[in-house]
Amino acid sequence: MRAAGQKPALHIDTLRDDARLRLWRHRGRSRRLVVSFSGVGRDRSQPPRLEFGRTASANGRDHVLYIADPARSWLNQPGLIEEIAGLVETEAAQLGATQVVAMGHSLGGFSALVLGGFTRVDVALAISPQYSLDPSVAPDENRWMMFRQHFPGLRISQAADHMAPSTQHYILFGKHYREAPQRRLMRPAPNAACFLLPKVRHDSVVKLHEAGILDEVVQLAFAGRSRRLRQLLAERMQAVALTAPGTPDPEDLA
């Protein structure tokens, strides 16, 4: 028997754990499949861990595939993104999912943006993502060099090349100068709602959590509630929304 206010246990199965891919699954009860990508992780001597356990699953309600790229290749391992897309398609078919969404922070945000170019993704939420680690695209980016130097080749030069027109993207960036090499590659568009968070560095997830709105931000994005998301971020984070000229609100198109 659970104590009052105690959250129910979240059952997550490990499906795979090798040098190429780490994969976990939570089976929920909705018709939504969430693909939650892990970032680089804090301990670089260990492979990335599962991230956004309860947040991605809406406290257990939604089905989730949790995915980590152990080599931290930004999906550049040969055939890796195609393999992930196949796993997502198989899971969605087995579940009869009516919505497929993706999310992640940093490397995970990059992966969420890219996935829609390889399989159906209705909504992608990218928090402080990299757009590119290609020196020809982001020559002033000097972070993550210890991983970048081991890339087997840049199959995926930049996320923008794979952001599907049919996917609604929500992209959040801190305004700290260290984020500039990636942030300047951001392009608001009818299917890309972009937000700048003042006084935030690459620690955007921590700041959203401290503001008490991380879970709500995720759910508003997945539901396509752009107007309410914009209001919430402005009220609690003093965020500024960037929009392309003439961009309609996705809620107005529903």
- Give the pLDDT confidence of 50-93 residue by residue, as tens digits: 999 999 999 999 999 999 999 999 999 999 999 999 999 999 99
Give the per-residue pLDDT at 154.
86
User: Given a cut of 70, is residue 23 above it in pLDDT?
Assistant: yes
Tens of pLDDT, residue by residue over 204-244, are 999 999 999 999 999 999 999 999 999 999 999 999 999 76
DSSP string, 3-42: PTTPPPP---EEEEESSS-EEEEE--SSSEEEEEE--S-S
Give the per-residue pLDDT at 121.
98
Of 32-41, 137-146, 242-251, give the range with the top mean pLDDT. Answer: 32-41
User: Given a cut of 90, is residue 8 above it in pLDDT?
Assistant: no
**Widest CA span of the chain, in angstroms?**
58
Token reading at 186: 């951001």
Give the per-residue pLDDT at 252.
42
Token reading at 242: 């960037």
Return the SS3 of 215.
Answer: helix
Give the per-residue pLDDT at 95.
97
Token reading at 213: 């709105």
Residue partners of 131: CB distance under 8 A and separation at least 6: 110, 113, 137, 138, 158, 159, 160, 182, 185, 186
The residue assigned the tokens 């089976």 is: 27
CA angle 10, 15, 19 (to 5 degrees): 125
Confidence of residue 5 (pLDDT cuts 50, 70, 90): low
* Contact between 80 and 103 (Cβ < 8 Å): no
Report the distance separating Cα 190 and Cα 243, nearest Å: 8
Confidence of residue 249 (pLDDT cuts 50, 70, 90): very low
Report the distance separating Cα 17 and Cα 216, nearest Å: 30
Give the per-residue pLDDT at 81.
97
Mean pLDDT (the chain) is 92
Give the per-residue pLDDT at 244.
61
